[in-house]
Amino acid sequence: QASQEELKAAYRRLCMLYHPDKHRDPELKTQAERLFNLVHQAYEVLSDPQTRAIYDIYGRRGLEMEGWEVVERKRTPAEIREEFERLQREREERRLQQRTNPKGTISVGIDATDLFDRYEEEYEDVPGSSFPQIEINKMHISQSIEAPLTATDTAILSGNLSTQNGNGGGSINLALRRVTSAKGWGELEFGAGDLQGPLFGLKIFRNLTPRCFITTNCALQFSSRGIRPGLTTVLARNLDKNTMGYLQWRWGIQSAMNTSIVRDTKTSHFTVALQLGIPHSFMMVSYQHKFQDEDQTRVKGSVKAGFFGTIVEYGAERKISRHSVLGATVSVGVPQGVSLKIKLNRASQTYFFPVHLTDQLLPSAVFYATVGPLVIYFAMHRLVIRPYLRAQKERELEKQRESTASDILQKKQEAEAAVRLMQESVRRIIEAEEARMGLIVVNAWYGKFVNDNSRKNEKVKVIDVTVPLQCLVKDSKLILTEASKAGLPGFYDPCVGEEKSLKVLYQFRGVLHQVMAADNEALRIPKQSHRIDADG
């Protein structure tokens, strides 16, 4: 985004710094010639609008292609960018053709009521009755994949298997979805199963206004009892920036009307819903608080009351790795009893383990359902998850270091050569700044700093950049833009893939100042806020 004037000013300054005629030492002269040529090549590329556009889009590879195979020379920068965007769209379409977007759910229901609801008198003479019996009483597996046919048509194949107490069945469905316009799409569904007959369905989505949409789903289920029609319609509207309102009408086997309001913000998620229907009518209120931490921790609670009874749920979820989220919810209800629900989301796969603890409201079951998962999680996180993530990060960093080792070595040699060539210029700059009581860089370090006691075992990786930073001082000012400082003259990356900072101790008007800036943070000195108090 630099202007032509800024490019010319930077080019002149670096030419004066690296010009071979300014260095008599043969070794310094050779190093100056190499850096001077690099600066000249960079300016040739960036001063020409066409080559600059090609470099911005394709990098050095675009400039090295013979015969300008990438793009015609007569094109303007705007045309070059349009061409690049067209090629990007084509690549996205090819990538879309290869994408199946698999989604799956595995649910394993566990009956652990024998832990709390035991009948000692009845089983006291049975061998092995002293051990609680924990059983898997139901399972459910579902999977779906998408197969893009064209840019607007997609085929979706899904299937599921379920079993409960020794009885079960399954079904398979095929859906064909077509995007008809930017405002809507339609979907045809065909299905069959061993417990139920063929299924034919039609689903339509349509944006009525920029803030309102409607979804309609009608189905015909064929069975030995005849044809069972069903219809579901959902009308939704944006009430404000973070709030949605829904109206749902369902007609068929379980007819009902439902209305709900959902408010989702950066720190919270709130839902209130009311349903009137056969056989269930209920009212539900839920709240979820989102902590703004690295692990994206969330705590939630809900109350649901209706003809079936009352259920109170509370729980939490937390990100345990880049693609995995672990959650646990305690459900306490009348007459449902106490259950613990554990859920693991791994990318697009969901693993769900509902554990039914008791049919009664026992305080001991509520206590163990609440405390048990917390103790197990913190123990696993400290002993297993955290060491595993640390080792995985180290492996990724090591792989990145190996792949960039030769480039970093070259950058290091260029930076060291640049520092040697800067010595004379820096000496003159310091003399001029001392004469006017201006800006003098006392010490400057760039790299990875460790100030947190929890990371005291990590190694500090910094380089001394006092000379190259002083060389950038002009008229008692130092201005760095929002870009990685590893690209500055005399700098290189001392710790690839890790967070870096720049720490500067400088003197201005005879007073010491100190500042630390993140790698991509803009920096402007001197500033009054950087001043070091004499008492401190």
Per DSSP, 252 falls in state S
- Quote the pTM value: 0.65
Identify the CA nearest to 425 among candidates 13, 22, 17, 18: 17
pLDDT exceeds 70 at position 81: no
Q: Provide mean pLDDT across the span 162-166.
A: 87
**pLDDT of 453:** 54
Q: Which of 98-102, 121-125, 132-136, 370-374 has the lowest mean pLDDT?
A: 121-125
Structurally, the chain folds into a number of domains equal to 2
Please report the pLDDT score of residue 64 as a whole number: 61
pLDDT, residue 337, reads: 92
Owning domain of residue 82: 4-65+74-93
Residue 67: what pLDDT? 42
Residue 44 has pLDDT above 70, yes or no: yes
Task: Check residue 404 and give its pLDDT.
Answer: 78
Examine residue 418 and state whether it is found in any structural domain, yes or no. Answer: yes
Q: Please state, as a whole number, how many other Cβ atoms lie within 10 Å of the Cβ of residue 398.
A: 12
Summarize the confidence of residues 37-59 as an average pLDDT. 81
pLDDT at 258: 94
Maximum mean pLDDT: which of 85-94, 349-358, 382-391: 349-358
In a domain, 411, yes or no: yes
> In the block, which residue shows the tokens 């060491």?
387
- DSSP at 251: E
**DSSP letter at 271?**
E
Judged against a pLDDT cut of 50, whether residue 70 lies above it is answered with no
Going from the C-alpha of 445 to that of each of 17, 231, 256, 486, 492, the distances in angstroms are 22, 68, 67, 12, 12
Is the pLDDT score of 195 beyond 80? no
pLDDT at 300 exceeding the cut of 90: yes
Helix (H, G, I), strand (E, B) or coil at 359: coil
Which range is least confidently modeled, 77-91, 374-388, 491-505?
Answer: 77-91
What does the pLDDT average to over 149-168?
Answer: 89
How far, in whole angstroms, is CA 369 from its chain's centroid? 31
In this structure, is residue 42 part of a structural domain?
yes
Residue 66: pLDDT above 60?
A: no
> With the C-alpha atoms ordered 467, 472, 478, 483, is the resulting torsion angle positive or negative?
negative
pLDDT at 254: 82
Evaluate whether residue 121 is within a structural domain.
Answer: no
DSSP-assigned states of every residue in 375-422: HHHHHHIIIIIHHHHHHHHHHHHHHHHHHHHHHHHHHHHHHHHHHHHH
Q: Burial code of 468-478, b = ≥16 C-beta within 10 A, e = fewer?
A: bbbbbbeebeb
* Domain CATH for 47: 1.10.287.110
From CA 257, how far away is CA 274, in angstroms rounded?
8
85 falls within a domain: yes
Band (pLDDT 50/70/90 cuts) for residue 131 is confident
Element (H, E) at 194: none
Dump pLDDT digits (tens) for 320-341: 887 889 999 999 998 889 999 9
Higher pLDDT residue, 321 or 189? 189
Query: pLDDT band at 17, cuts 50/70/90?
Result: confident
Q: What angle do CA 56, 60, 62 make, to 5 degrees?
A: 80
Whether residue 534 has pLDDT greater than 80: no
Least confident of 80-89, 293-302, 308-317: 80-89
The answer to whether residue 95 scores a pLDDT higher than 70 is no
Residue 285 lies in a domain: no
Q: Are 241 and 250 in contact (CB under 8 A)?
A: no
344: three-class secondary structure by DSSP: strand
Q: How many angstroms separate the CA atoms of 210 and 238, rounded? A: 9
Query: Under a CB-based contact definition with an 8 Å cutoff, are residues 449 and 504 in contact?
Result: no
Q: Give the pLDDT confidence of 217-272 residue by residue, as tens digits.
A: 999 988 877 888 999 999 999 999 999 999 999 998 789 999 999 999 999 999 99
Q: What helix, strand, coil percent values describe the chain, rounded to 5? A: 35, 40, 25
What is the rounded average pLDDT of the residues 462-472?
91
Band of residue 55 on the pLDDT scale cut at 50, 70, 90: confident
Place 505 in a pLDDT band, splitting at 50, 70 and 90.
very high
What value does the mean pLDDT of the chain take? 85
Would you call 366 exposed, middle or buried from its count of C-beta atoms within 10 A (0-12, 13-18, 19+)? middle
Q: Give the helix/strand (H/E) hosting 247.
A: strand 243-251
In a domain, 525, yes or no: yes
List, as one string, the DSSP characters of 125-170.
Answer: TSTTTTS---EEEEEEEEEEEEEE-SSSEEEEEEEEEEEETTEEEE
